[in-house]
Amino acid sequence: MCGIWALFGSDDCLSVQCLSAMKIAHRGPDAFRFENVNGYTNCCFGFHRLAVVDPLFGMQPIRLKKYPYLWLCYNGEIYNYKKMQQHFEFEYQTKVDGEIILHLYDRGGIEQTICLLDGVFAFVLLDTANKKVFLGRDTYGVRPLFKAMTEDGFLAVCSEAKGLVTLKHSTTPFLKVEPFLPGHYEVLDLKPNGKVASVEMVKYHHCRDEPLHALYDNVDKLFPGFEIETVKNNLRILFNNAVKKRLMTDRRIGCLLSGGLDSSLVAATLLKQLKEAQIQYPLQTFAIGMEDSPDLLAARKVANHIGSEHYEVLFNSEEGIQALDEVIFSLETYDITTVRASVGMYLISKYIRKNTDNVVIFSGEGSDELTQGYIYFHKAPSPEEAEEESERLLRELYLFDVLRADRTTAAHGLELRVPFLDHRFSSYYLSLPPEMRTPKNGIEKHLLRETFEESNLIPKEILWRPKEAFSDGITSVKNSWFKILQEYVEHQVDDTMMANAAQKFPFNTPKTKEGYYYRQIFERHYPGRADWLSHYWMPKWINAADPSARTLTHYKSATKA
């Protein structure tokens, strides 16, 4: 996990412009480099490093003696770099996983390169010999990337939007900044004056398709057919492999543990894999909540069962409310459910950074979207519509859960790893017949639960524990986090402000006082940038006025049982 920043064709003083790069310093607390491009005085790279692999030679932009015309700045982890190196017999100059991008590009061009990367990444690749700039981002947008480009060919890219919003350019007083789409790469021509022109934007991978790099990986051979025992066996093989490949780091690994199904499966599998890899330190797991929180109790059960060194972080409503401003600044969004769920994750990341030496953190993000884990999936009209909705949620992860997971951890110099979004695991899951993936017997994620039924990985009551939104599970059932927040904002936003909301915020007009309050904070930090969020996250197929799972009838009946 690092912070990347690059400019092409700047017409302002670079030493002034580079101050913007310092806005993402939290992403790489270990080292910083700012480097101009030979022959292009108005082009430069900025890089903040979190040293996770190869502490000695991991600085960027990566330059190799063999390819003096290539410059690479990337944020991410390429899990199959050793496999690719061995298969194609590349001579490596460093031990950095990202070096594989340069070798693959030299061998087969940008499209083949990006399709062969098994990992999470956002990159800027400059080829001064062929006068090209390439931008690329992983399938689900696990690693963030933003860009700004003007009509006269000035290009700026950065891991977070906050590193671009204050940039100056002569042709525009307001630089339009937008997220770079996941699963895409862009080709741009580099002109002699350092400006660029976009040639093409290509969608290189759909989450349903088996990735090209599957041809080269060493996963046990999967069994054909959709017989239930075959499918369960294949899922266990792929999930184990998804966790195992993510052990790649020179830093200590920890795990977030909410006590829900997803984080519990990740923590249990991770601990097993660490033992098999003969890692000497104990796995530390971390849970956060208020007094009487169901998440804390459930996480404690799981930690006792798997034998992790467990830590509980307590916070009160005042601390949560006080964190809202810095959370929204970190997130760069005002989406209601994202902000709610981010407070706990932000505070626990802060605790991990301050009190432990864990740097790489595993988590269960992506499972709800992939395995139809949201409670509203019970209301899906058909398995086919549920499948369509699952894929929509996966496409939009970069606006919601993946955004939250990255920004809340990166704000404290931590790197998050999310095995459920592994390319092989997710594409196989999505290839299964739609009716296999829907909720069954009133229980969401039935197939995933069934897959691990006989494994004794986690306690049975956790394996079959109903869905609890992270933003709700951290507080007691009697007083949900969303209710605490709504009671607080009731005194911050009055009825007159709400009456004028459409006039003040014509785009994505907030419908509630809570939404209005978050939007106010967002506009204070990022005025005029509301279009970074295309729409609010809300459940489908039900007439919901609030995104909290606890407002849904299914949840209410489950808690009474």
User: What are the residue numbers of the active site?
Assistant: 2
Number of other CB atoms surrounding residue 209 within 10 Å: 15
CA atoms of 300 and 294, how far apart (whole Å): 10
Find where tokens 């002109």 sit. Answer: 191
CA atoms of 86 and 442, how far apart (whole Å): 48
- Its sign, for the CA torsion 459, 461, 467, 468, is negative
CA atoms of 219 and 449, how far apart (whole Å): 22
DSSP code per residue over 303-315: HHHHT-EEEEEE-
CA atoms of 82 and 103, how far apart (whole Å): 12
The single-letter code of the amino acid at 404 is: R
Structure tokens at 178: 């937008």
- Cβ atoms 101, 88 nearer than 8 A: no
Residues 6+ apart with CB under 8 A from 448: 235, 261, 265, 367, 371
Give the side-chain half-sphere CA count within 13 A for 206: 6
- Cβ atoms 236, 455 nearer than 8 A: yes
* Nearest to 125, CA basis, from 206, 66, 172, 67: 67
CA atoms of 521 and 531, how far apart (whole Å): 15
Strands 252-256 and 358-362, sheet pairing: parallel
SS3 371: coil
* Nearest to 398, CA basis, from 139, 210, 209: 139
Give the CA dihedral 554, 555, 557, 559, nearest 10 degrees.
160
Structure tokens at 478: 């009697």
C-alpha dist (Å) from residue 168 to 11, 13, 147, 277: 9, 9, 14, 50
Structure tokens at 471: 């933003």
CB-neighbour burial class of residue 246 (10 A; exposed 0-12, middle 13-18, buried 19+): buried
- Cβ atoms 530, 501 nearer than 8 A: no
Structure tokens at 282: 């104990």
Angle, CA 40 vertex, CA 39 and CA 45 arms, to 5°: 120
C-alpha dist (Å) from residue 277 to 101, 252, 280: 27, 13, 9
- Cβ atoms 123, 72 nearer than 8 A: yes
